[in-house]
C-alpha cells in the first residue's frame, strides 16, 4: 500500500491576520476535498489560535514552526507543546535549518523538543539536511545520519513522526536538487529509519522533500519512490502554487 502523501506549508515570518485569512481562503477555494493527501499549514505563532479554529472540520491541519520542551516556566518568548495543542495545533516543525543556523539549535536541544512534543500528542516534522559546503565535500549522508542519530531513538513513537529532507543549499537560492539527488537521500533516510525503528516503521514513515519545491518541479520530485510529500516554503504563500503542489502529490499515488 502506498504511503499517503503529506504536504505542509511553512509560512515562516510572513502574513498578518488579514493576509493570512486571504491566503487560507484561496487555499480552501482551490483545494479539492477529494485529494488523498494530508495537508498542513504552519503560520506564525500569532496566528495559531485563530487558524486552529478556522480549519476545524476541514481536511487542513495547523502546525507550529517552533516549540520549547518545558511544559511551563520562566522562558520568555517560548511556547510549550501543551500551549500549541490547546491552540489547535496538530503538527510542529522541529530542527528546521533556519533554527539550527540562526538560533544555534543542536542535537540535544532538538531531541528534548521532539520527546516533549510527541509526549503531548503532537505530530512532529523533523528536518534534516546538509549545507552547500557539506554536499560539495560529499558529506551529505554523514551529516543526515548524524542529525538523525542525535535526535531519534527507538523508544519514540514513529507513527507520529515525519522526516523532512531539506538540502540547505536549495532553499531560497534558486538552485534545485534533481529528483535523482532527492531520491538518493530519501532512500538513505528510509534505511536509517529502519535501523532505528525497524522495517515496518521504515515502510510506513513519510519523508517529505523540502528544498524550493514549486509547481514546476513538484511532479518530478513526487514521482520518486521515497518522496512522500513536501515541506513547502515560499510557494505556500501563493494559494494556487501551494494547491498545485498538493495536486502533484496526490497524482503521484493516483489520488
10 Å CB burial of residue 180 (0-12, 13-18, 19+) is: exposed
Phi, psi of 29 (to 5 degrees): -70, -35
Contact indicator for 205, 190 with CB cutoff of 8 Å: yes
Q: Please state whether beta strands 38-42 and 161-165 pair in parallel, antiparallel, or not at all (unpaired).
A: unpaired
Contact indicator for 120, 82 with CB cutoff of 8 Å: yes
Q: Which one is catalytic: 54, 68, 96, 98?
A: 96
CB neighbour burial string for 125-159, b if at least 16 within 10 angstroms, e if fewer: bbbbbbbeebbeeeebeebbbebbebbbeeebebe
Element (H, E) at 245: helix 239-252
Q: Can you tell me which residue has the cell 518530478?
A: 220
Q: Which one is catalytic: 68, 120, 166, 186?
A: 166
Active site residue 166: yes
| Active site positions, annotated | 96, 166
Amino acid at each position: 500500500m502506498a504511503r499517503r502523501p503529506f504536504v505542509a506549508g511553512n509560512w515562516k515570518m510572513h502574513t498578518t491576520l488579514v493576509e493570512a485569512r486571504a491566503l487560507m481562503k484561496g487555499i480552501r477555494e482551490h483545494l479539492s476535498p477529494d485529494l488523498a493527501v494530508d495537508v498542513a499549514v504552519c503560520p506564525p505563532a500569532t496566528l495559531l489560535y485563530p487558524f486552529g479554529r478556522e480549519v476545524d472540520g476541514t481536511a487542513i491541519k495547523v502546525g507550529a514552526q517552533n516549540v520549547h520542551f518545558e511544559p511551563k516556566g520562566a522562558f520568555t518568548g517560548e511556547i510549550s507543546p501543551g500551549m500549541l495543542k490547546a491552540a489547535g495545533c496538530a503538527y510542529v516543525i522541529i530542527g528546521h535549518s533556519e533554527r539550527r543556523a540562526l538560533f544555534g539549535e543542536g542535537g540535544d536541544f532538538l531531541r528534548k523538543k521532539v520527546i516533549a512534543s510527541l509526549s503531548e500528542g503532537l505530530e512532529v516534522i523533523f528536518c534534516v539536511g546538509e549545507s552547500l559546503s557539506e554536499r560539495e565535500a560529499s558529506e551529505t549522508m554523514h551529516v543526515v545520519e548524524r542529525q538523525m542519530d542525535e535526535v531519534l531513538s527507538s523508544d519514540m513513537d514513529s507513527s507520529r513522526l515525519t522526516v523532512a529532507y531539506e538540502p540547505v543549499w536549495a532553499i531560497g537560492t534558486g538552485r534545485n536538487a534533481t529528483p535523482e539527488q532527492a531520491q538518493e537521500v530519501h532512500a538513505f533516510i528510509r534505511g536509517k529509519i529502519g535501523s532505528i525503528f525497524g522495517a515496518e516503521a521504515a515502510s510506513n514513515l513519510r519523508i517529505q522533500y523540502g528544498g524550493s519545491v514549486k509547481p514546476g518541479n513538484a511532479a518530478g520530485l513526487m514521482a520518486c519512490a521515497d518522496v512522500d510529500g513536501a515541506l513547502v516554503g515560499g510557494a505556500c504563500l501563493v494559494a494556487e502554487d501551494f494547491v498545485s503542489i498538493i495536486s502533484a502529490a496526490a497524482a503521484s499515488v493516483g489520488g
